[in-house]
Amino acid sequence: MAIFDLIRKQDHQAVVFCSDPETGLRAIIAIHDTSLGPALGGCRMKSYATEQDALVDVLNLSRAMTYKASAAGLNLGGGKSVVMLDHPSQKTPALLKAFAERIALLKGTYIGAGDVGSNTDDLKIMHQYCPHIVGLSKEDGGLGDSAILTSLGVFMGLKAAVAERLGQESMQGIRVAVQGAGKVGYHLVGHLLEAGCHVLISDPNDAAVQHIKDAYPAVEMCPGEALYEKEVDIFSPNAIGGLLTQEVARFLKAKIVAGGANNPLGDELVGTILHQRNILYAPDFVINAGGLMMVAAEIQHVTFEQAEAQVRGIYDKTREVFEYAKSHQMLPWNAAQAIAMHRIENARKQKAQGSAARETAVSR
């Protein structure tokens, strides 16, 4: 599909392609919607098989950020950026500087944060050359690693899904298959074990799995795709997006799908298959919004404790989505999207009314 066809398909406001021959920088910044405020989204730094793959990824992720910010009640829009790396060693201070300088050209329309492949050390370097970077460490004036509150929000979403699907508030004895042993998965496992869950963990990175096993010996390690075949109450995707394909959805042995991964469903039909099999899907952009709330709190200069209190509210927001879905006979993902779009459309109407009023005043 042609570039502009891809952009029009998801109604993006702007897509910026960045290049720097000296450092080899190849990056894309996607701004999906700024009706509610500046577009906030992480800076993803990784290798891609093709430039087309990178473009599709940044377009999908930025759109999800629009829904995430709106559903979370934040006055922020949706954006995302990707830096295409040929090799991890290509991520040098010089490349980070070049990328930050290009974000700065957007004058705050896009605000960058941490994501896959970028950390607080990277953000510290970038912040030296661009003020529109958040997600800094506590030592550098931020609130710390956003994975901490992302995982808490996911846990609250899991609790809401258990209450909805299984009719119980307690997580004691709930079997959870956690896919992904990264930072979010690591912290999520801690919440689950503390709540009395039985946890299975899988990740292609053996060292990451062992890190969790060392910290939490009670975790059951599960190799590769065998995790899909385990009979569990919750399957929790916390790795890269798109891993839940139609084939996986047809044989998945779980009652709930809920996790921290962005866009975990391979396509929209996957959500339909899960619904037909009576598997409750907790929309990803609702329950994984904790990190976004945390960096939004950093922008607003509020405390970590205030951000944490807001993230715990994801439980109620998730229950509201389930109620809306039932009352409107919709899938939960569509219900969450409808709720998010309602705020965005109201903001657009208010802006249009304001513009019309200003034009009327000028004409007089």
pLDDT of residue 6: 81
| CA–CA gap between residue 187 and residue 236 (Å, rounded) | 13
Instruction: Return the bridge partners of 111, or none.
Output: 40
Which member of 46, 68, 80, 138 is catalytic?
80
Are 233 and 175 spatial neighbours (Cβ–Cβ below 8 Å)?
A: yes
Is residue 9 annotated as a catalytic residue, yes or no?
no
Q: Which residues contact 70 (CB under 8 A, 6 or more apart)?
A: 36, 339, 340, 341, 343, 344
Taking only the tens of pLDDT, the chain with its 364 residues reads 678 888 888 889 999 999 999 999 999 999 999 999 999 999 999 999 999 999 999 999 999 999 999 999 999 999 999 999 999 999 999 999 999 999 999 999 999 999 889 999 999 999 999 999 999 999 999 998 888 999 999 999 999 999 999 999 999 999 999 999 999 999 999 999 999 999 999 999 999 999 999 999 999 999 878 999 999 999 999 988 888 999 999 999 999 999 999 889 998 899 999 999 999 999 999 999 999 999 999 999 999 999 999 999 999 999 999 999 999 999 999 999 999 999 999 999 988 877 666 666 665 5
Length of the chain: 364
pTM of structure: 0.89
Q: Which residues contact 193 (CB under 8 A, 6 or more apart)?
A: 199, 216, 218, 219
Q: Which domains does the chain have, with CATH numbers?
A: 3-62+76-140 (3.40.50.10860), 147-289+317-339 (3.40.50.720)
DSSP output for 185-236? HHHHHHHHHHTT-EEEEE-S-HHHHHHHHHH-TTPEE--GGGGGGS--SEEE
pLDDT of residue 78: 97
Per-residue pLDDT tens over the stretch 162-193: 999 999 999 999 999 999 999 999 999 999 99
* C-alpha distances in Å from residue 88, one per residue of 46, 47, 250: 7, 8, 36
